[in-house]
């Protein structure tokens, strides 16, 4: 793939370095050329100095042939403008942006821009540590629509995946028992103390809290 990364802070430089080492062609854009030092001597991609959402700067970075575009500067407004240019002017197939403000994250999604909010992810991860210490549940993934949760099954009797799923609107992804993990099927047996990986829509989370006594 040809990948354009705008922003060369900690995240941008790491992303560009990983993609470059994986054999992809990478161009990095930053208005601060001093940031390019973060890329290290092994980076073999292109660096372009300029405003991250400037059309001529992005053309110089090769955005017209880009397969993927990442807007990961430290400024949410810059990221949203750069992502919109990539989407609406250059029709880049894959676009992802970082956004710190959870409210602005909703704006990104409304504009059809895939985004990652480290503020929300970080808060969810820390909260999951609290719950994990309490041996109840562990949030592995969260966005505004879906949660992926690890839960220890606390029922007194064994049951099947089909029977358990009939209790609510969620999906059992896998069952782990004695350090052996199985992809969940309808007839997979769940014993007390088994670890379950469950996918649930955010809007339905409260209902499974009652089912699993969370």
Residue 125 has pLDDT above 60, yes or no: yes
Q: Mean pLDDT, to the nearest integer, of 162-180?
A: 90
Q: Mean pLDDT, to the nearest integer, of 117-146?
A: 63
CATH for the stretch 2-116? 3.40.50.720
Residue 153 has pLDDT above 90, yes or no: no
Dihedrals φ, ψ of 77, to 5°? -65, -40
Q: Mean pLDDT, to the nearest integer, of 183-196?
A: 91
Q: Mean pLDDT, to the nearest integer, of 154-175?
A: 90
Question: What's the pLDDT tens digit per position in 78-90?
Answer: 999 999 999 999 9
Q: Mean pLDDT, to the nearest integer, of 56-61?
A: 97
The pLDDT of residue 58: 97
Q: Which of 191, 149, 144 is nearest to 170 (CA)?
A: 149
Burial 92-126 (b: 16+ CB within 10 A, else e): beebbbbbeeeebbeebbeeebebbbeebeeebee
Q: Mean pLDDT, to the nearest integer, of 21-46?
A: 93
CATH 3.40.50.300, applies to 120-212: no
Going from N- to C-terminal start, the domains of the chain cover 2-116, 120-212
**pLDDT band for position 135 (50/70/90)?**
very low
pTM to 2 decimals?
0.66
Q: Which of 74, 87, 77, 75 is nearest to 4 (CA)?
A: 87
The pLDDT of residue 130: 65
In the chain, pLDDT over 70 holds for what percent of residues?
90
Beta carbons within 8 Å of 193's beta carbon, 6+ residues apart: 152, 153, 154, 177
**pLDDT band for position 123 (50/70/90)?**
confident
Dihedrals φ, ψ of 31, to 5°? -80, -10
């Amino acid at each position: 793939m040809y990948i354009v990364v705008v922003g060369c802070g900690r995240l941008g430089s790491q992303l560009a370095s990983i993609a470059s080492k994986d054999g992809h062609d990478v161009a990095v854009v930053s208005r601060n050329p001093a940031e390019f030092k973060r890329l290290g001597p092994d980076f073999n991609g292109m660096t372009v100095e300029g405003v991250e959402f400037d059309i001529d700067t992005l053309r110089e970075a090769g955005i017209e042939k880009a397969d993927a575009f990442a807007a990961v500067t430290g400024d949410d407004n810059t990221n949203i403008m750069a992502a919109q240019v990539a989407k609406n002017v250059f029709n880049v197939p894959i676009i992802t942006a970082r956004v710190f403000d959870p409210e602005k994250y909703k704006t990104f999604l409304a504009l059809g821009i895939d985004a990652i909010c480290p503020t929300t992810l970080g808060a969810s991860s820390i909260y999951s540590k609290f719950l994990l210490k309490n041996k109840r549940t562990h949030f592995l993934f969260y966005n505004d629509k879906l949660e992926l949760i690890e839960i220890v099954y606390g029922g007194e009797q064994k049951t099947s995946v089909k029977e358990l799923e009939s209790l609510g609107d969620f999906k059992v992804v896998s069952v782990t028992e004695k350090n052996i993990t199985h992809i969940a099927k309808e007839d997979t047996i769940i014993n007390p103390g088994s670890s379950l990986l469950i996918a649930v829509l955010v809007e339905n989370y409260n209902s499974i809290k009652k089912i699993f006594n969370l």
